[in-house]
Amino acid sequence: MGASLRNRFTASVLFGASISHMLNDAVPLIQIALLPVFIKEFELTVFQAGLMVSIPFICSTVSLLFAGLLADKISHINQMAIALTLMGFSSIMIGFTSEITPLVVLLSLILVGNSIFHPAGFSLSSKVLKSKRRTTALGFFNAGGIMGFAVGPFSVGALLGLFEWRIIYFFWTAVIFADVGYLLTLKTTKKLKSEAGAQTLIVQEKTHKPRFRAVLTLPFMALLSVIGLDWMGRHIIITYLTSFLVFDKNFTIQMASVFLGLISVVGLIGGPLGGFLADRFGVLKWFMVCIGSLVVCIYMLLVSPHIWYLAAVALIYGFFAAGEMASGSSLVSNYVHVTRRGLGYSLYFLSINGVSAIAPLIGGLIAEGYGFSAVFYGAMLFMFLSLVLIWLTLKRNSSENGTQPATINGS
């Protein structure tokens, strides 16, 4: 394969993975944006609404380890297509539901599809470019997911005033199946030279794989703990932000949904730029800068008195939230052997989804007892603890002279 054809195929793979990531993350965010609608239509308490969010995340968490092991065995593109197909069929069925129990079941299937997608998508994207540019590639891949965070809530804001909420899921079903068709066209090319030399993208090379226990090194386990604390805070905020805006700030549901999407819009810049800055100044250092900046932004969202101040702080929050993602996912590649990245990314998302399953419940209990403002302070505490843990573990054990963790041989 010539250099020009190889470059075009690299761009096609990264583009397809990024667009698929957008759809994969857009559909689950619809549920969050519609949470005030569900509270009113099904007459839920805040805690019951939190449980409605937590149950799908529990199902997603249970499926993650299987998804990671599968990503190390089959074509990444096949796995991504399977995941999106499951989400598409579940979205169709949601359009015909009128009771809370089947709705929660179908929302759970969407989150299972989301989990099946992520290990394959990140493994594929981490192999597109050489290791010195890996975080940049992952930044573009993450930008797709961030776009999903934006367009999912925006679609609620745009369509809810015109159509009944179930129509929104029908709309996304059509887009999902169109993307599955595009992904399958990428299977016509089999190999692409990558960071490991003759390593394949679509058909993985057969090589010796470290055992499961070899993946669980102390630095990697410390990273998973950091990710868990960080995302505990992030998921508490993302779950109750629209409810906070509607019930405490007197926003309309449509306006709160658009505001939630606005946070993600700037991530289209923050994702790729964050990946570039991490490669330039050090992955671990940029990771810490982003988390610290998010803590400050959460406090500013809480105390900002005017909608324009809120909007400005939300944009800053969105930039650093997106900029952090490439660093976190790149650190996984640094600590896990290339042939076990599917497993490594499944454990990475197991950490995220594990806390995501309980974060809405914790946030709901705090909100019912002390109000939505207390939810923000709780989120700040979790994220501050993640910074402390980075300093006590990863930062002190870094082998990059304070900026870059050691890279596992073969990665």
Please indicate, yes or no, if residue 408 is contained in any of the structural domains: no
Query: What is the structure's pLDDT at 203?
Result: 40
Which parts of the chain sit beneath pLDDT 50? 1, 5, 188-207, 399-411
In a domain, 197, yes or no: no
Q: Would residue 400 count as lying in a domain?
A: no
Range of 170's domain? Answer: 3-188+208-395
Query: Could you tell me the CA-to-CA distances from 223 to 135, 175, 332, 336 in Å, in that order?
Result: 16, 35, 8, 11
The first and second tokens of residue 195, run together, are 């960071």
Residue 195 domain flag: no
Q: What pLDDT is recorded for position 3?
A: 55
Q: What is the pLDDT of residue 208?
A: 53
Q: What tokens does 17 get?
A: 């993975």
First to last CA, the chain: 23
The confidence score (pLDDT) of residue 159 equals 84
Domains in the chain: how many in total? 1
pLDDT of 53 reads 81
Indicate which CATH number applies to the domain containing 61. Answer: 1.20.1250.20
Residue 228 placed within a domain: yes
Output the furthest CA–CA distance in the chain (Å, rounded).
64
| 31 part of a folded domain | yes
CA–CA dist 175, 110 (Å, integer): 15
Residues linked to residue 197 through DSSP beta bridges, in sequence order: 194
Question: Does any domain span residue 406?
Answer: no
User: Is 194 contained in some domain?
Assistant: no
